[in-house]
Amino acid sequence: MPPLIEALTLHKSFSHTRAVAGVSLRVDGGEAYGLVGPDGAGKTTLLRLLVGALDADSGTAQINGYDVARQTELARQHIGYLAQRFSLYGDLTVLENLRFFGEVRGLGEARVKARAEELLRFVGLAGFESRRADALSGGMKQKLGLACALIHEPKVLLLDEPTTGVDPVTRQDFWQLLIRVLAQGTAVVVSTPYMDEAARCNRIGFMHSGRLLVEGTPRELAAMLNGRVLELIAQPKDRARRVAQADPAVEDVLTFGDRFHLRVAEPAGPLARLPAALAEAGVTVTRLRAIPPSLEDVFISLLAQPDGK
């Protein structure tokens, strides 16, 4: 079976910005692909190229085997898309929005009605049918967006930061919904600034300056820094940080709440040297140990050396 999403060396520039610079991507049915990267990395542009909202300068994108540039409308029949910015009609009601997006995708009246009812229950908006979309809360808007994107049972679902600005409980709900969509064999691409969300994906692509720097399962990506992250809990913190940074094997010191993550070239040296150095500086060490790296550690290390490894 061909992949549901297949992009080959997509390029897109805006006057002076190379927003997407040679991205290739394959996503199969039932797979969730997480797109992470800092602001301006090109995530939105990449998704817009995949849905054909923008024309690529070069490269091709296929959705379910249809070329997005040449068989645009055919390809779009299989796409559900939730834009980063709220893009439903605020002056229409919840039901009117669903109905509109269902009908313009060629669903008959009865079908739209049944689907709308089903989806509203699915996303938890039953009872809000006649509320104007503008009057919904942020999380409800995103759920309505998801419902509208799913109304025609697309094979491909593209979500651009669907949970940004949404409360944690609703985020949790949202992911439960996605898991059920995935179970139906839909290919999902989701861009997200949240690492915990990225970790839920089957595969993650890390994007920076228009390029996909690395790609892999969360486990594979985390393994890139295996044995190279130390956790340090110590007081006083600013002195502890200064001492840690001074160690020749320590590449970076990140603050995670009450603790530091030290990225090291190799763990043995610092583990041997740091306790004495910290004690000498009058720092009380609660904990110093090697830990399995988090995705965040990996991405920050990639940002520090953006040419990959």
Partner 1 sequence: MLNTRLLSLIRKEFIQISRDPRTLVLVIVIPVMQLFLLGYAATHDVRNVPLAVFNQDRGPEARALLDAYRAADYFRLAFDAGSEAELRRLIGEGRARVGLIIPPDYGTQLQRGAAQVAFILDGSDPTVASTALAAAQLIGQAHGTQILAERLAARGVALSLTPPVEVRTQVWYNPDLEAAHFMVPGVIGMILYALTSLLTATAIVRERERGTIEQLIVTPIRPWELIVGKMLPYVSLALFNTVEVLAIGAWWFGVPVRGDLWLILGISVIFLMTSLGIGLFASTVAHTQQEAMLTVWMTLLPSIFLSGFFFPLEAMPQVLQWLSYAMPLRYYLSIIRSLLLKGVGFAEIQGDVLALTVFGLVIMTAAVVRFRKRLD
Ligand X SMILES: Nc1ncnc2c1ncn2[C@@H]1O[C@H](COP(=O)(O)OP(=O)(O)OP(=O)(O)O)[C@@H](O)[C@H]1O
- Distance from C-alpha of 222 to C-alpha of 199, rounded to nearest angstrom: 10
Nearest to 79 by CA among 163, 3, 186: 186
Could you say which of partner 1, Mg ion, ligand X, none residue 104 binds, taking C-beta under 5 to 8 angstroms by partner kind?
partner 1
Q: Is 77 in the site for partner 1 (CB under 8 A)?
A: yes
CB of 2 to partner 1, least distance (A): 21
Q: Is 164 in the site for Mg ion (CB under 5 A)?
A: no
- Distance from C-alpha of 81 to C-alpha of 1, rounded to nearest angstrom: 23
Of 61, 83, 150, 240, which one interacts with partner 1 (CB under 8 A)? Answer: 83
Helix (H, G, I), strand (E, B) or coil at 65: coil
Q: Total number of residues binding ligand X (CB under 6 A)? A: 12
Residue among 38 and 282 whose Cβ is closer to ligand X: 38
Residue among 43 and 99 whose Cβ is closer to Mg ion: 43
Q: Is 162 in the site for ligand X (CB under 6 A)?
A: no
**Per-residue x/- mask for partner 1, residues 11 to 50, rule CB under 8 A?**
---x---------------------------------x--
Residue among 47 and 262 whose Cβ is closer to ligand X: 47
Task: Tokens for 245, please give them.
Answer: 């940074």
Q: Is 88 in the site for partner 1 (CB under 8 A)?
A: yes
Is omega for the bond preceding 236 within 30 degrees of 0, making it cis? yes
Nearest to 213 by CA among 136, 137, 301: 301
Say if CB 80 and CB 162 are below 8 A apart. Answer: no
Residue 242 has a CB neighbour count (10 Å cut-off) of 12
User: Rounded to whole angstroms, what are the CA distances from 135 to 85, 92, 100, 189, 236?
Assistant: 16, 10, 18, 28, 48
Q: Is 111 in the site for partner 1 (CB under 8 A)?
A: no
| Among 102-110, 169-177, 250-258, 296-304, the segment contacting partner 1 (CB under 8 A) | 102-110
CB of 174 to Mg ion, least distance (A): 17
The position carrying tokens 């030290």 is: 262
Residue 106 has a CB neighbour count (10 Å cut-off) of 10
Instruction: Enumerate binding residues for partner 1 (CB under 8 A).
Output: 14, 48, 51-55, 73, 76-77, 79, 81, 83, 85-92, 96, 99-101, 103-106, 108, 148
